[in-house]
Amino acid sequence: MREFDLAVIGGGPAGMAAAVAAKKKGLDNIIIFERDAQLGGILNQCIHNGFGLHTFKEELTGPEYAERYADMVRELGIPYETGTMVLNISDDRTVTIMSRERGVEGISAKSVVLAMGCRERPRGALGIAGYRPQGIYTAGTAQRLINIDGVLPGKECVILGSGDIGLIMARRMTLEGAHVAAVFELMPYSNGLNRNIVQCLDDFGIPLLLSHTIIDIKGKENLEGVVVAEVKDGKPIAGTEEYYPCDTLLLSCGLIPENELSRACGVDINPLTNGAVVDDRLQTSIPGVFACGNVLHVHDLVDYVSAEAAKAGESAAEFVRSGQTSGDGTTINLIPKNGVRYTVPNKFSADFPDNELHIRFRVTGIYKNSAIVLKCGGNEIFRKKTMIMIPSEMQDIAVKKDVLAQAREDVEIMIEGEAQ
């Protein structure tokens, strides 16, 4: 059985950044397993720009961003195997992989970084009534068809859901000659980044209809149209129905971390994120198994993925070096309260090794002129004023070690202010 210090599951932005960071921390015997034919993951089909403003201080396309990391992987001499699917990870970190060349093979790893990314919520999970014709795609599938395969899914398009891929695809479809009639969003606010609403919808005159959803799909063989209604409290309002003829419906209704392997391995999953429960080292409930990127929680910017993944890679290297599964200090839980949907990490060791702890989370509504507050035992230990926070943007606060070192019990994190 082949043996590695670190097996990274997934060669997308998270996996590559984790491997690079582990290598820089001195770990040598690393392997990246990637199911696709090349490194890069979903970035390879994201040919639009806007990547890398934080990491590289320049504006790159998805493939360019991926290439920067792929170059680092190659320059550092980190081995990777593409066309390789991971079938199983056991709790003793035996990883079962499969490829055309090697068949099915078990390998042994001293540490594992989970970096499998996420997938899109399909139509069936949305429960939209109507027919199941040709012409309905998740936005990411349509993105792949256009950008990789060179196939335009249709000419007359509507989009349900205002997640970033949906917004990006509204522009992409338009640029490729299709007509995008509208983007419908169930919620009263968009789930995409503001810059994408401006650059992908406003600039092209594509209306964004908030508090609207599709209630019926017409056309038995081929999509013929959708019935859209205004929504109040999650329910369609009778009398507001409007018919949109179309041959293509793109869905951008949420991303789900792809944790099949993690679950089978026995990793505890946080129902709020559908990602692993992790500590300050991004270690899961199984010692030596770490998680980062969209398999941990869905990010808005790849730059944050890279930063988070680097932490996971460093933690894996440290784990292999010291064999330590946790710090010596007490474990403190981070409890999301008013306005905070979840946090990553879920807990930390009071003597965590860094100078500061990054707490990443999303808010549950739109908050203007509010504050992020941490409390412990009823006492406020941290406060940060914020101009605006919206659910589509991931929040990332760095809290100094000396602040958290005071904590002797669970720390609550909340938003002070009224959601709009």
Partner 1 sequence: MVDVTIIGAGVIGCAVARELTKYRLSVCVVEKETDVCEGTSKANSGIVHAGFDCKPGTLKSKMNVKGCAMVRELSKTLDFAYRNNEALVLCFDPAQLDGLRELYDRGTANGVEGLELLTPDQVRNIEPALNDVAGALLAKTSGIVCPFEMTIAFAENAYDNGADFRFDTTVTGISKSGSFYRIETDKGSFESRFVVNAAGVYADVIHNMVCEDKIKITPRRGEYCLLDTEAGNTVKRTIFQLPTKMGKGVLVTPTVHGNLLVGPSAENIDDKEDTATTASGLASVRDRAGLSVSGIPFGKTITTFSGLRAVGDTDDFIITMSAENFIDAAGIESPGLTSAPAIGEYIAGMIAEKAGAERNDAFNGTRKGVVHFVALSREEQNELIKRDPAYGSIVCRCATVTEGEIRDAISRSLGARTLDGVKRRTGAGMGRCQAGFCSPKTMALIAEKYGIPLESVRKN
The reply to whether omega before 345 is within 30° of 0 (cis) is yes
Question: Is 205 or 234 the residue whose CB approaches partner 1 more closely?
Answer: 234
3-state DSSP assignment of residue 169: helix
Could you say whether residue 101 binds partner 1 (CB under 8 A)? yes
Tokens of 248: 């293509």
Beta bridge partners of 398: 358
* Binding residues with partner 1: total (CB under 8 A): 43
Helical (H) or strand (E) element with 403? helix 401-404
CB 412 within 8 A of CB 376: yes
The answer to whether residue 129 forms part of the interface with partner 1 (CB under 8 A) is yes
Residue 237 touching partner 1 (CB under 8 A) = no
Any contact of residue 239 with partner 1 (CB under 8 A)?
no
How many Å is the Cα radius of gyration of the chain? 22
Beta strands in 206-262 (DSSP E): 208-210, 212-218, 225-232, 235-236, 242-245, 248-251, 255-257
Nearer to partner 1, 138 or 273 (CB): 138
Could you say which of 7, 22, 114, 120 contacts partner 1 (CB under 8 A)? Answer: 120
Q: Is 130 in the site for partner 1 (CB under 8 A)?
A: yes
The one segment of 67-75, 132-140, 200-208, 239-247 that binds partner 1 by CB under 8 A: 132-140
Q: Does 83 bind partner 1 (CB under 8 A)?
A: yes
The residue type found at 399 is V
Output 129 or 387, the one with its CB closest to partner 1.
129
User: Which phi and psi angles does 37 have, rounded to 5°?
Assistant: -80, -15
Tell me if 124 contacts partner 1 by CB under 8 A: yes
Judge whether 182 and 194 are in contact, CB under 8 Å: no
Residue 123 binds to partner 1 (criterion: CB under 8 A):
yes
Q: Restricting to residues 250-289, which ones interact with partner 1 according to CB under 8 A?
A: 260
Backbone angles phi, psi at 42, to 5 degrees: -70, -20
Nearest to 360 by CA among 416, 413, 406, 295: 413
Cβ closest to partner 1, residue 77 vs residue 124 = 124
By CB under 8 A, residue 102 contacts partner 1? yes
Q: Is residue 161 at the binding interface for partner 1, with CB under 8 A as the rule? A: no
Q: How far is the CB of 325 from partner 1 (least distance, A)?
A: 29
Q: Is 233 in the site for partner 1 (CB under 8 A)?
A: no
Q: Which residue has the tokens 């951008």?
A: 252
Q: Which is nearer to partner 1, 43 or 60 (CB)?
A: 43
Are 202 and 190 a contacting pair, CB within 8 Å?
A: no
Between 99 and 338, whose beta carbon lies closer to partner 1? 99
- Give the interface segment with partner 1, choosing from 159-167, 210-218, 274-282, 291-299 (CB under 8 A): 210-218
Residue 38 contacts residue 82 (beta carbons within 8 Å): yes
Smallest distance from partner 1 to CB 131, Å: 5
- Asked if 234 is part of the footprint of partner 1 (rule: CB under 8 A), the reply reads no
Closest distance to partner 1 from the beta carbon of 363 (Å): 23
Asked whether 293 and 19 are in contact (CB, 8 A), the reply is: no
Binding mask 167-196 for partner 1 (x = CB under 8 A): ------------------------------
Going by their DSSP bridges, the two strands 395-400 and 356-363 should be labelled as antiparallel
Residue 389: strand, helix, or coil: strand
Residues forming contacts to partner 1 in the complex (CB under 8 A) are: 35, 83, 85, 87, 98-104, 119-120, 122-125, 127, 129-135, 137-138, 140-141, 144-145, 148-152, 215-218, 220-221, 260
